[in-house]
Amino acid sequence: MAKMNLLLFLIVVALVVLPLLFVKNSEFGGADGKAEEAIQEINPNYEPWFQPLIEPPGGETESLLFAVQAAIGAGIVGYAVGLYRGRSRKQAAVEEKSM
């Protein structure tokens, strides 16, 4: 099991690092920027319906907020998986004792 976890960790690290090493002079932009460019090409006079309530001071802050959101989501999913796995193990132990 430990070897499998190490292998999965190394694969994740490779997926993160390799694009940064091999794709030179490239800007990794988000989907919001691409959508805005496409809308401006289609209709240059388009005015957005809404404006953000709070504008982050910089791209780093926006990235930080996105990372925090992802971490909270991963924590919730991890908690649920652990909870259900623990319940199933406990149920299996109870069934084993009753036999």
The pTM for the full model equals 0.50
Tell me the per-residue pLDDT of 51-82, one tens digit each, with 9 for 90 and over.
878 777 777 777 788 889 999 999 999 999 99
Which residue range forms the structural domain that includes residue 63?
58-99
Q: Are 56 and 65 in contact (CB under 8 A)?
A: yes
Half-sphere exposure of 48 (CA within 13 A, CB side): 7
Residue 4 maps to a domain: no
Answer whether residue 84 is part of any domain: yes
> Do the domain assignments include residue 71?
yes
Residue 91 lies in a domain: yes
Q: State residue 22 phi and psi, 5-degree precision.
A: -95, -20
Asked if the structure places residue 88 within a domain, the reply is yes
Q: What is the pLDDT of residue 53?
A: 83
Residue 80 lies in a domain: yes
What does the pLDDT look like over 14-26, one tens digit per residue? 988 887 777 776 6
How many domains are there within the chain?
1
Residue 10 is assigned to a structural domain of this protein? no
End-to-end C-alpha distance for the chain, whole angstroms: 29
Any domain includes 37: no
CA distances from 14 to 19, 56, 70, 90, 94 (A): 8, 31, 20, 37, 42
Over range 36-54, report the average pLDDT.
87
For 56, residues 6+ apart whose C-beta sits below 8 A from its C-beta are 62, 65
